[in-house]
Structure 1
Amino acid sequence: MTDIDFKEKTKDLIDSLKSVCANYGLGNDGNEFKIITQVFLYKFMNDKFAYEVKKIDKGLKNANNWEEIVRSYSEEDYEMLLLQLGADTAKLKPEHFISELFSRQNESDFAKLFDDTLIDIAITNNDVFSVKTDGGAKVVLFERITEFISDGSKRDDFARAIINKLVGVSFEHIFQEKFDFYATIFEYLIKDYNTNSGGKYAEYFTPHAVAKIMAAILVNKPDQDVTVYDPSAGSGTLLMNIAHAIGEDKCTIYSQDISQKSSSLLRLNLILNNLVHSIQNIIQGNTILHPYHKDKDGSLEKFDYIVSNPPFKLDFSDYRDDLDSKENNERFFAGIPNVPNKAKEKMAIYLLFVQHIMHSLSKKGKAAIVVPTGFITAQSGIDKKIRERMVESKMLAGVV
């Protein structure tokens, strides 16, 4: 199957899941987005598990029903099979298989069985696949998605409709290829949630063309055992591109983002792109107010590569004065924007992100930041002070 064929297959699955959501009154809202991404992740985990166990037990590869053979394993043999799986593969039990749910779909309370299955997968894999908040809480993989249907009498049928969309599709073969295929999923999903100039709840993302240029500029020679950080990561487009440029097995990803939605998408992105080892470093929280990644002495951790497309303008008046502290004097060396009398939503929060990035860069580190044109042309204020520091410290390599 070609890359184009796979993209069409992916889009068809997304469209069919959207159709199910629409038929049950969940068209074009936040819950629809959660359902589609979580169901797709469940499908991915099933197919990745199948692909990996068939590599371990060659007898499963050409079997007509590999799931049935696996179910016949003794408890000890099955545990041994799981131990041989890499950390990037979710540990599934036979009752977690899509084929198992498909065969049981006519049972009563099927919606509960469906949700219980997702929750059990999340609990079983909690240590590796959970995202943390800046307060230390863990955000698990899955939710009880059938409960998004307000009419309880329709939940069983909703769960059946979903499981029937998943059984006829297999992505096992794509694990042999080097596709950054999550880009297809995200871009195709986001088109329906980023209309009308974004709206209040839109999630913005950096175009892949821009992300690839930034990665190419930063990674101009082989590197290894390096750290990569984005303090406003979003869904991770910038991080994925630079990780691909360096090599997924040669770098460790760190991030923070205040958005729950973006943090969940970034986790999905890491899972799909062989970066599961970095999920423990994905933090949902306010980078400016509560930076999470710190060294043992409490100082901000320093990184080898930093990429960012931070929000340009945002109302942070509620915590602006909390930032104006002795602890932040060095971090925000050029100053903190004042709260205006009007149009607080236009406060230049990107100036704080730029300073934070400069403070978080290792001595030999490299950074690439997307900034508004005004930052380059400003003749006074915080903008100018930041540029002067960059030039004086010989940090500025160029402007594209």
Structure 2
Amino acid sequence: MSTQEFEKKTKELIDSLKSVCANHGLGNDGNEFKIITQVFLYKFINDKFVHEIKKLDKDIAKAKNWEEALKAKSEEDYEFLMVQLDESTARISPDHFISSLFDRQNEPDFAKIFDDTLLDIAKENSDLFSVVTNSGEKVVLFENISKYVVDDRDEFCRAIVNKLVGFSFEHIFHEKFDFYATIFEYLIKDYNTNSGGKYAEYFTPHAVAKIMARCLVHGEVSNVKCYDPSAGSGTLLMNLAHQIGEDRCTIYSQDISQKSSNLLRLNLILNDLVHSIPNIVQGNTILRPYHKDKNEQLQQFDFIVSNPPFKLDFSDYRDQLDVDANNERFFAGIPNVPSKKKESMAIYLLFLQHIMYSLSEKGKAAIVVPTGFITAQSGVEKKIRERLVKERMLAGVVSMPSNIFASTGTNVSILFIDKENKEDVVLVDASGLGTKVKVDDKNQRTLLSEEEEDRIINTFNKKEVVDDFSVVVSYEDIEAKNHSLSAGQYFEVKIEYVDITEEDFINRLNGHKSKLNSLFKDSARLEVEIENELNRLILK
């Protein structure tokens, strides 16, 4: 089966699971995503376990019925196989196999059997596969999912198992990032929206994520720490890890949303980054940053990517941030609480300062910011840009096309920080690129072609000067322009000179004079007509 065919089959599986939910009253229900993502994950780790076991034991691989061959193993032999598995493979007992559930589906209280299976797997693998909260509480892999169904829970669980049993991931574990990115996006497309919760339940377009990763990572790097303080479902981190190499980096993240943290965990499992799951934290990064070193100082990272929420009401804890301990982290200040529209508080400025504070000595970062940030003439925005220039830690800026994010009309730019770049800075104005497509009745989105993505990336990385597209400027140039990071303000104003004869010049001049005289006559006529009309109205 080709990759394209398997991708189609996988999407059909996802659709069939959603159909089961809809048939049991859970269509568009707030809990549907919990069921779909957990069931999908259960199937994936079940098949991954089988795949790895077959690699370890040729007899099982050759057996006509691998389940029976594996169940026939003695307890000692089974345990020996478990010890040989790499840590990225979840440990599963024979009675936890989907095939075992399939065989037991007609037993009384099957919903409990199904739920207990998931809970047992979660407990057995809690050390490596759990997300943690700020307080240190573990959020395990699975929960009791049949509780979300009001009636016919046994029937619901039977329907789920019957959808899973005829499908296998076994033949695609060799696939890499692009395949899983497509599957992950399809899996969560109905659930990864900004549903009123806080922080990063936004889906960053892959074009933006790709540009950020490829402009950030140059050459071969290894043993690096990557961080996103508002990670959402992890699109930026996955692209960054793929660019570096999944086995050459460790992922760290924090996000206040439980849903986002669970989706990120799923993304890590799909992309062979299980070793990073213990570093995924559910909590408020701005108020209580979690990742600290042995001296209780904020941990520093080699690469940071972020698409933080731009505006959000954080007035309920704003004053808790304004303390001496945060003076260095929030060096440019903390936005005040406005008398109106608290929801417009610029929380992204806190994330940006937190990122700058969290960079290692040679650290690099890419952050999505409102384009207004790069030219603001005062306030926290200006102070941040001044610090970036003063400390010589800028790599450049790419201003993106409008509507690159379908969910917001805010124009965005990507700010690149590089603490090692003491030389020139590249500014790219890509606002004119892309093709606009309609997303729904209200929104449209701008899509970049692969050629346009590559044009941005190559121009940025090579620090090329392209007329009306990119400039390369010094830190002194930026200071002279009041710290503006807008490429357009540095473009040369070009005046085209055309050689014409004296006769042509006189003819053109006379033509302009004639046109102006005609306009003046029309203006005088209109003034008379208006005055007459006003007099007529007055006499009435």
TM-score class, shorter: over 0.9
Matching residue of 2:39: 39
Match of 2:372 in 1: 374
- Report the equivalent of 2:118: 118
Question: Paired residue for 1:256?
Answer: 254
1:213 aligns with 2:211: yes
Q: For residue 271 of structure 1, report the CA deviation from its aligned partner.
A: 0.9
Amino acid at match of 1:2: S
- 1:346: which partner in 2? 344
SS for the counterpart of 1:40 is helix
Partners in 1 of 2:258 and 2:186 — Cα distance? 20
Q: Tell me what 1:48 maps to.
A: 48
1:23 matched to 2:18? The reply is no
* Preserved contact between residue 176 and residue 271 of structure 2 (Cα < 8 Å): no
The alignment partner of 1:362 has SS state of strand
Post-superposition Cα deviations, 1:354-399, rounded to whole Å, max 9, x if no partner, equal 0000000001011000111111121100000001100111111100
Offset at 1:208? 1.1
Is 1:238 aligned to 2:260, yes or no?
no
1:149 aligns with 2:149: yes
Distance 1:199 1:74, change over 3 A: closer
Contact 1:193–1:203 under 8 Å retained in 2 = no
AA of the residue aligned to 1:30: G
2:303 alignment partner, one of 302, 305, 324: 305
Asked whether the 8 Å contact 1:18–1:27 carries over to 2, the reply is yes
Aligned counterpart in structure 1 of residue 263 of structure 2, from 262, 265, 270: 265
Contact 2:313 2:342 in 1 (8 A): yes
Q: Secondary structure at the match of 2:363?
A: strand
Q: Do residues 9 (structure 1) and 5 (structure 2) align?
A: no
For residues 164 and 285 of structure 2, the distance between their equivalents in structure 1, rounded to whole angstroms, comes to: 38
The SS at the match of 1:366 is strand
Question: Are positions 1:128 and 2:128 aligned together?
Answer: yes
Could you say what secondary structure the match of 2:16 adopts? Answer: helix
**Alignment-derived partner of residue 356 in structure 1:** 354
Structure 1, unpaired ranges of 5+: none
The residue matched to 1:378 in structure 2 has which SS?
coil
Distance 1:305 1:52 in 2: 32
Task: Say if 1:180 and 1:273, in contact at 8 Å, map to a contact too.
Answer: no
- The alpha-carbon distance between structure 1 residues 199 and 234, as it changes in their structure 2 partners (threshold 3 A), is closer
Q: What is the total number of aligned residue pairs between the two structures? A: 396
Residues 299-308 or 200-209, more deviating: 200-209
CA spacing shift, 1:113–1:124, aligned 2, 3 Å: same
**Shift of residue 210 of structure 1?**
1.0
Report which structure shows greater RCO (CA 8 Å, sep ≥6): 1
Alignment partner of 1:296: what SS? coil
Q: Deviations over 1:68-102 (max 9, x none)?
A: 10001100000000000000000000011000000
Query: Which whole-Å CA distance do the structure 2 matches of 1:23 and 1:156 have between them?
Result: 14
Structure 1 length-normalised TM: 0.97
Distance in 1, matches of 2:121 and 2:372, equals: 48
Deviation at 1:205, TM superposition (A): 1.2
- Residues 292-311 of structure 1 show CA distances to partners (whole Å, capped at 9, x for unaligned) of 00112121111000000001
1:109-136 CA-to-partner distances (Å, cap 9, x unmatched) read 0000000000000000010100000111
Worse-matched range after superposition: 46-55 or 199-208: 199-208
1:278 equivalent among 276, 279, 283: 276
Correspondence for 2:97: 97
- Post-superposition shift, 1:345? 0.8
Name the structure 2 match of 1:200: 196
Shift of 1:7: 2.0
Name the CA distance, whole Å, in 1 between partners of 2:279 and 2:268: 11
CA distance in 1, matches of 2:295, 2:325: 13
Does residue 82 of structure 1 match 2:82?
A: yes
SS at match of 1:370: strand
**Residue matched to 1:166:** 164
Name the CA shift for 1:191/1:268 in 2 (closer, same or farther; >3 Å).
closer
Identity %: 74
* C-alpha spacing 1:36/1:65, structure 2 compared with 1 (3 Å): same
Provide the secondary structure at the position in 2 that maps to 1:222.
coil
DSSP 3-state at the match of 1:181: helix
TM-score of the pair, normalised by structure 2 = 0.72
Q: CA deviation at 1:189?
A: 3.5
Q: Distance in 1 between matches of 2:188 and 2:104?
A: 33
Q: Once the 2 structures are TM-superposed, how far is the Cα of residue 200 of structure 1 from its aligned partner?
A: 2.4
Take 1:223 and 1:384, find their aligned partners in 2: how far apart are those partners? 33
Q: Partner amino acid for 2:365? A: A
Contact 1:28/1:193 (8 A) holds in 2: no
Q: Is the 8 A contact 2:110 2:157 kept in 1?
A: yes
Q: 2:227·2:301 contact (CA, 8 Å) conserved in 1?
A: yes
User: What is the alpha-carbon distance in structure 1 between the residues aligned to residue 234 and residue 180 of structure 2?
Assistant: 10
Distance between the aligned counterparts of 1:100 and 1:349, measured in 2? Answer: 50
How big is the shift at 1:60?
1.7
Deviation, 1:179, is: 4.1
The one-letter amino acid paired with 1:200 is: G
Check conservation: 2:213, 2:240, Cα contact below 8 A.
yes
Deviations 1:141-187, CA, capped at 9 Å, x for gaps: 00100110123xx0000000000000111110101222443322332
Label 1:69 to 1:94 Cα distance change in 2 as closer, same or farther (>3 A).
same
Aligned partners of 1:62 and 1:237: how far apart in 2?
A: 38
Distance in 2, Cα, partners of 1:276 & 1:194: 21
> What CA deviation, in whole Å up to 9, does each residue of 1:19-53 have, x standing for no partner?
00000000012211000000000000011001100
Deviation at 1:199, TM superposition (A): 4.2
Q: Which moves more between the two structures, 292-301 or 96-105?
A: 292-301
